[in-house]
Amino acid sequence: MSKIQGGNLMLFIGGNSIAYATNHTLEISGETKDTSNKDEGGGNWKSEEVGILSWSATSENLFCDEGAGKTYADLFDLMVAKTPIAAVFSLRNEADSVTTVPANGWTPKVPKYTGNVVITSLSLNAPNGEYATFTANFSGVGALTKVTSGN
Q: What is the pLDDT of residues 69-123, one digit of tens each?
A: 899 999 999 999 999 999 999 998 887 777 888 888 888 888 899 999 999 999 9
Within-domain flag for 39: no
Domain count, the chain: 1
Say which residues have a Cβ less than 8 Å from residue 43's Cβ, sequence separation at least 6: none
Nearest to 51 by CA among 27, 26, 36, 34: 34
pLDDT band at 126 (very low <50, low <70, confident <90, very high): very high
**Global confidence as pTM:** 0.88
Domain range spanning residue 140?
17-28+51-147
CB atoms within 10 A of CB 117: 24
How does DSSP classify residue 101? Answer: P
Within-domain flag for 3: no
Within-domain flag for 6: no
Question: What length does the chain have?
Answer: 151
Within-domain flag for 112: yes
